[in-house]
Amino acid sequence: MKLVAKHKPIIERAIQAIHERTFFAQYPEHPSPKIYGEDADKNGREAFQNKVGKKFKELLQGDSDNWVGDEESPYMQDPLHITYPSYTPEELITKADKAFHQWRKIKADLRAAILVESLERVKNRFFEIAYATMHTTGQGYMMAFQASGPHAADRALEAIAMGYEELTRFPESVVWDKPMGKYNLKLAKEWRAIAKGIGVVIGCSTFPTWNSVPGMYASLVTGNPVIIKPHPGAILPIAIFVAELQKILKEEGLDPNICQLGVDSFSNMITKELAEDNRVKVIDYTGNSAFGDYLEGLKGKFVFTEKTGVNSAIIDSAEDIDKVIGNLAFSLSLYSGQMCTAPQNFYIPASGIKTPNGVVSFDEFAQKFADNIKGLVANPKAGPFVLGAIQNKNTCTRVEKFSSGTGKVWLSSGEVENPMFKNARTATPLVLEVDAQDTAAFSQELFGPIALLIKTKNTAQSVALAKEMALAHGAISCAAYSTDDETKEMIADEMSLAATPVSFNLTGGIYVNQHAGFSDFHVTGGNPAGNASFTNPEYVIKRFTWVGFREPVK
C-alpha cells in the first residue's frame, strides 16, 4: 500500500481542483530545463529517433507472430517503419476478460494510486511523446509537448480523481437501525461498486493521447480492463502511456493485460469487431460522426463519444478590432485548423462591426483577417511552427476542393516552407465569403484550415444561425465578441440552449481552441458533437453500478 500513501496528496489535490474549477496543473506545460532537466529534450528526441524503423518491444501483453505499423511522418512524408505486436480481437478480449476479474477486486484507492504512478512515470517521457506526436500527427513542437504530455496527463488525472470520488462517495457498509417501537430492526448493509466490464478506447489521428487518456483512465479507475485501439496513423504516443502502465501493473503483481494496446492497420482494421463483441461493455470514441453514430446505436454498450461539429465565431462589436482579428486568425491557423475546437463559421453583420473608432465594414474585417493570416504565415519564426503539418492527405484535398467552390476568395490556400522539414505536408488557411442564405455551404464540418465569412442581416441572425448549426450538426466551441452586456447575455442564453460553451472577447494569449483540465468541460454531451464530457460525474458513474447486500444483525 506504499503507492496509496505516496499518491494520496495528488489525488486529494486533484479532487479539490475539480470542485474549485480554478487553475490547477499537476504537470507543468512548459518544456523548461529547470523542470524536466537540462538534457530532457535531447534525450527525448534521441529516444524517439531510436524507435524509428524498429519493433516496439516495451509492451507486456504476450508474444505475437504478427507485427504491424502504418505510421507516416507528416513532416517528412515518409513511413516511420515502427511496428507493434498485433493480436486478433478474440485474443485481446479473452485476455481482458481474464484480467477483469483480478482488476475489479482491487480496492479503489490502490487502483487510483497505480494509475497516478503510471502518470508520474510517463512524465519522464514527455519529450519522447512530443516528438512521437509531431511525427504522427503533424502538430508543432510546443503543441505536441503540451497536448500529448502535460495536458493529457492532467486530463487523465482528472478522470482518476473524478472516478475515485464517485467510488468513495458512499460508505462501504453500515448497520441500518430502524426504531420499531418496542424493538429496533437492524440490518447490516454493504454496497459494492461493480465495474461494467471490458472497455475499448478508439483513438483519433490528430490527438492520440489527449483524446484517449480520459476514457482510458476513467474506465480503469472504476475497475474495467481496457483495450486501447489507436488510429493506425498515430500509435506511438499512446503506446508509451500503455507501456508505462503495464510496467507498474506487473511490479504490483497484477496482470499487465488489464490495459492492452490493440493495434491494427489501414488494410485490416479491427474496430468494429472489437466494438460489437458482447463482452465489450464500455466504448470511448473520438472521430467522425458517421462512425460515432454507429457506435452509439450498438445495444448493450455504454458509449462515450466526441464527434464532429460546426464551430462558430459571432462578431458583434469590439473594443479593439485588430486584437480580435489577431486572436481569431491565430485560432484558425493553430495546427492548421485540425482541432475539434477550431472556429470555422465566422458570422459578421452586413452593417459592420461597432468599435469605439467607428464601424468596421464586412469587407474591412475580411481584408484585415486575410492580411493578418498572411502576416502570420509569412513569419519564418512563427508561421511554420504554428501551422505544423497536415496529418491526413484528405485534408489537403478538402482545402483544394473548396478553393474552387462558390463564394468570394479573400485568401487562397498555399504551402509554407518549414525550415526544419523541407518535405513537410502543409496547407495555409483558406478564407471564403459565404452568404447567409447559402446554408448548405456552411452546415458541415470542414476539418482543416478553412474559414467561412458569413454575411448576416444582423447579430440576431448570426446567433440564430450559430445556434441552428450547433443543434443540427453539433458544436464544441463558440467565440463571441460584443461590448454590449445585453447582447452577451442573449448570446450566452441562446447558445446554452444548443449546449455550446461560449468564449467571450478573447484577445490575448488564450484562444477558443483551448480547454483547460480541471476547469473547462470539454464537449458538453448535449448536442450532436458528442454524448459525453471531459470530465463530469456522468463520465465516470456510467462505468460502474452500485449493488447492495443486506442481512439481519443477530
pLDDT number for residue 143: 96
Element (H, E) at 394: helix 393-403
| Residue whose C-alpha cell reads 462501504 in the numeric block | 172
pLDDT number for residue 461: 98
Q: Tell me the pLDDT band of 202, cut-offs 50, 70 and 90.
A: very high
Please report, for the chain, the start and end positions of each structural domain, with discontinuous segments joined by +: 2-17+27-170+194-307+532-546, 312-504
- What distance in Å separates the CA atoms of residue 424 and residue 413, rounded to the nearest whole number? 15
**Residues 122-144: tens digit of each pLDDT:** 999 999 999 999 999 999 999 99
Q: Annotate 367-387 with b (16+ C-beta within 10 A) or e (fewer).
A: ebbbebbbebbeeeeebbbbb
Hey, is 285 helix, strand or coil? strand
The answer, yes or no, to whether residue 170 has pLDDT greater than 80, is: yes
pLDDT number for residue 407: 79
Superfamily of domain 2-17+27-170+194-307+532-546 in the CATH hierarchy: Aldehyde Dehydrogenase; Chain A, domain 1 (3.40.605.10)
The stretch 417-441 carries a mean pLDDT of 95
CATH number belonging to domain 312-504: 3.40.309.10
pLDDT number for residue 554: 84
Grid cell of 319 as nine digits: 473594443
Q: Tell me the pLDDT band of 396, cut-offs 50, 70 and 90.
A: very high
In terms of Cβ atoms closer than 10 Å to its own Cβ (0-12, 13-18, 19+), residue 290 is: exposed
Q: Tell me the pLDDT band of 162, cut-offs 50, 70 and 90.
A: very high
The answer, yes or no, to whether residue 44 has pLDDT greater than 90, is: yes
The answer, yes or no, to whether residue 402 has pLDDT greater than 90, is: no
Residue type for position 406: T
Give me the torsion for CA of 48, 148, 135, 201, rounded to 10°: 100
Q: Tell me the pLDDT band of 32, cut-offs 50, 70 and 90.
A: confident
pLDDT number for residue 33: 78
**Residues 504-551: tens digit of each pLDDT:** 999 988 999 999 999 999 999 999 999 999 999 999 999 999 999 999
Half-sphere exposure of 318 (CA within 13 A, CB side): 26
The answer, yes or no, to whether residue 1 has pLDDT greater than 80, is: no
The stretch 155-177 carries a mean pLDDT of 97
Q: Is the peptide bond before 535 cis (omega within 30 degrees of 0)?
A: yes
Q: pTM for this structure?
A: 0.96
- DSSP-derived secondary structure letter, 361: P
Q: Is 21 left (phi over 0), alpha (psi -120 to 50) or beta?
A: left
Q: Annotate 200-230 with b (16+ C-beta within 10 A) or e (fewer).
A: bbbbbbbbbbbbbbbbbbbbbbbbbbbbbbb
The stretch 412-421 carries a mean pLDDT of 95
pLDDT number for residue 250: 98
**Residues 463-477: tens digit of each pLDDT:** 999 999 999 999 999
Alpha helices per DSSP H over 21-88: 33-36, 40-49
The answer, yes or no, to whether residue 500 has pLDDT greater than 90, is: yes
The stretch 447-473 carries a mean pLDDT of 97
Residue type for position 336: S
Among 148, 263, 260, residue whose Cα is nearest residue 208? 148
